Amino acid sequence: MVRSVERRLKTLPRVLTKEVTRVQARLHAPLVVLWLTLSIAGVVMAWLTWKELSDHVDRGVQMTAFHEALDQVFSSLQDAETAGRGFALTGAEVFLEPQRATEREFPKHLARLAEMAAMDPELRQQVLDLQALAVLKLSITRKTVEERRRGGLAAAATLVETQEGKQAMDRIRVLVQQMRSPRQNPLTAAGDTTRMRLRRANLTSLAAGILGVGLGFFAFYLARLGLQHERRERTLAEAKLHAERSNDQKSTFLAHMSHEIRTPMNAIIGFAELLERELKEPRQQRYIHSIRTASDSLLQLINDVLDLSKIESGMLELRPEPADPRGLCAFIHTLFGEPAARRGIQLTCDTDEHLPRALLFDQTRLRQVLVNLVGNAAKFTERGFIRMRMKGEPDVVGGIALHVEIQDSGIGIPPDRLNAIFEPFTQADGRHPQEQGGAGLGLTIVRRLVEVMGGTVAVSSVVGRGTTFRVRIPRLAIADTNTGATPGGSPEPAVNFDSLRAATLLVVDDHPLNRDFIAGLFADSHHRLHFGTDGVEAVALARSLRPDAVLLDIRMPGLDGRGALEQIRATPGLESLPVIAVTASSLSGDEQNLRRLFSGYVRKPFTARDLYAVLARILPSEAGAGSPGTASAPATAHPGTVEPPSPEFLKTLHDLETGVWPSVRDGMGMTAVRDFAARLGSLGQASGQALLMDYAAGLQRHAEAYDGAALESELARFPQILRQIGAVRPDPQ
């Protein structure tokens, strides 16, 4: 009995071990299944919750964008209402600019709003209601404007008293408030549900983590990945910010360096221009020519660097104007013909006889492209030829495609360098001594400028036999030959400051060389010049002398040009004194700001022609001008004694009267008025019509002073001016 019990006691551990093993075997599978289930459920619930939260966030962002678009639509309607009210009270057209802007931009803003509300039927209906109310409100505003124009203030007030506009605007405000109701924010509406699901997902993930360490490691791994991703994003953001700051600093540095270089260059180029008139000895002429050539090269390098910076930052603007592309050939031949002939190089330029006489393009920039390409060909061609061919063909998308080919018989470019030559500061092969004279920016600017024009540039070359560049500019519109198309770069005639009525001029500049240069320009003329060295002297001399115009440098120590202008304009009697800004700044936005503040703008380095063009818009012309040391301008006389105008001149005037003048008179845009006045001034100077020049100068003064009433009256006198000149409408051809 006892032995039996002992045997059983001995076998008990083995039995217990087997039972434990059996139980472990039975529990292992359910525990693994439970762990996997909880793990998968935790991951799925977490993914679903985060996805739902992300969807809510996305909808919240969309709703925020919707509210911004809604605010923009509402703000534009308010601007239109304010503009209509201002015009109804004053009758001044300037108040209608916001209303016109709303008319132009409103359909686009409303379409964007409708697109955002496409998935929400209620919002879509509200947008349609808003559109109907907005159309009604704009219609009432237009009606108010028409009544004000037709019947004056009383008629407009009668229409306003009906309160139709106010009622429409009140309904718009109520509708906008409804569209901005809190129910539209998915983050607020679903916040509690999202938080509850997020809590459940966290509990499930915790349970799965307790049952399996692997899930914890997995979560740690994901967290680590997220941290690394965040660090990478932060690093990229910091690098981007640093690059943007570096680019801004580079642009600012280039602009400031350009200013510091342009200021002394103004004196170098200016005095060289004055000496070139006076020195007649061949050796002295060669020296002056060398100074001018070196100065122009340095100025071209500065302009190239600034142009490249503008192109890279997207700040370069094209200014298309009617011009004859054949004039570019004449300009290239004038510029490079003599140097090429001295080296025994045959320079030719052929144009297709079917090429239109006038195309709409930015001739300054296209001229820059051709000068760079022909100059590059001249640098690498020691003998042989340089040929430029120009032709136009109908473009598949409309307009004319201009093709220009520049071929030379120079040293050629290795095949492996054909693409590299368009990179900044890169040259074809540094082993050639000709390349040491450039910075490697010319071809880079060529490609960037052509791309800005929407065109392409291609190159082919054979080493030792020459290179061919092909430029294609598409979609150029054909301009009317009567719109004043100008040759692409014909030399400008010399100026005569005595063709302007004798005036007292105040010149203020802190650099004595610049003052001496301007004094040299006006030497022996009938104008009286006084000089100042800083802003304080500018204000004092302007108040004491009461000059006819002021040439005011902008960057001066102490009181700068802007501060001096403010004090001059605050002086009684000097509110309308013409003040011309003279600056060497190249900072983006400076020119536009200065043109808005000042009566005129001259950028250093400038020539006598540049200064004359600005003064001619301010000072009236004087008949019978002529002065020692300056070339005679076209003779002008009193309108009663001029020679009969030519038929071509009369036809141009009548084309302006029927085609340009009505839109300028009705639109009253200051830029359009200035352009119209400039064209009349050029016609008057070319034909010797002093009356037309005086009329153009008056338009310029009123436009610069933003005197709307005087400008409207002066524009209305244009047909009378034509009759005084003796213009008779030409017979139809």
DSSP E strand stretches across 169-252: none
**Which tens digits make up the pLDDT trace of 48-82?**
666 766 666 667 677 777 777 777 787 877 787 78
321-487 and 497-615, same CATH topology: no
298 or 350, greater pLDDT: 350
The average pLDDT across 349-374 equals 88
Token pair for 251 = 């642009």
**Which tens digits make up the pLDDT trace of 616-664?**
888 887 654 433 333 333 333 333 334 567 777 888 888 888 888 887 8
DSSP E strand stretches across 157-207: none
Token pair for 583 = 């600056």
Is 726:639 a contact under the CB 8 Å cutoff?
A: no
61-65, 170-174, 203-207, 276-280: range with highest mean pLDDT: 170-174
416: pLDDT strictly greater than 50: yes
Buried/exposed 291-304: b ≥16 CB within 10 Å, e otherwise: bbeebeeebbebbb
Q: What is the pLDDT of residue 389?
A: 95
**Which tens digits make up the pLDDT trace of 208-259?**
556 666 655 665 666 677 788 788 888 888 887 877 777 666 666 666 666 6
314-318, 330-334, 404-408, 726-730: range with highest mean pLDDT: 404-408
Give the whole-angstrom CA distance, residue 81 versus residue 383.
71
Give the whole-angstrom CA distance, residue 105 versus residue 96.
14
Q: What is the pLDDT of residue 188?
A: 46
Fold type of domain 497-615: Rossmann fold (3.40.50)
DSSP structural state of residue 586: -
681: pLDDT strictly greater than 90: no
42-56, 308-322, 671-685: range with highest mean pLDDT: 671-685
- Residue 156 identity (one-letter amino acid): A
Sheet with 504-508, edge to edge strand ranges? 528-532, 504-508, 549-553, 579-583, 600-603
Q: What is the pLDDT of residue 241?
A: 80
CATH assignment, 321-487: 3.30.565.10
- Structural element, H or E, at residue 146: helix 121-161
Which sign does the torsion angle of CA 326, 332, 334, 340 carry?
A: negative
**Which tens digits make up the pLDDT trace of 127-171?**
888 888 888 878 888 888 887 788 787 777 777 777 777 787 888
181: pLDDT strictly greater than 60: yes
Give the whole-angstrom CA distance, residue 505 versus residue 611.
13
36 or 612, greater pLDDT: 612
The average pLDDT across 679-707 equals 76
Give the whole-angstrom CA distance, residue 442 versus residue 447.
9
**Which tens digits make up the pLDDT trace of 700-722?**
777 765 556 667 778 888 888 88
In DSSP notation, 492-519 reads: PPPP-GGGBPP-EEEEE-S-HHHHHHHH
Terminal C-alpha separation, the chain: 146
482 or 75, greater pLDDT: 75
Query: In this structure, what is the dihedral angle of CA atoms 720, 722, 724, 726, given to the nearest 10 degrees?
Result: -140
Give the whole-angstrom CA distance, residue 439 versus residue 61.
49
The average pLDDT across 268-274 equals 80
Q: What is the pLDDT of residue 24?
A: 45
Beta bridge partner(s), residue 391: 403
The domain locations on the chain are 14-193, 263-313, 321-487, 497-615, 647-725
**Which tens digits make up the pLDDT trace of 540-586?**
999 999 999 999 999 888 899 999 999 999 999 998 899 999 987 76
Pairing of strands 466-478, 359-361: antiparallel
Token pair for 657 = 């009267």
Q: What is the pLDDT of residue 314?
A: 65
What's 67-125 look like in SS3? HHHHHHHHHHHHHHHHHHHHHHHHCCHHHHHHHHHHHHHHHHHHHHHHHHCCCCHHHHH
The average pLDDT across 462-491 equals 75
Coil, strand, or helix at residue 481?
Answer: coil
Which residue carries 């004491």 as its tokens?
Answer: 544
431: pLDDT strictly greater than 60: no
- Structural element, H or E, at residue 349: strand 345-351
Coil, strand, or helix at residue 636?
Answer: coil
DSSP structural state of residue 16: H
Neighbour count for residue 105 (Cβ, 10 Å)? 13
pTM over 0.95: no
194: pLDDT strictly greater than 70: no
- Residue 400 identity (one-letter amino acid): I
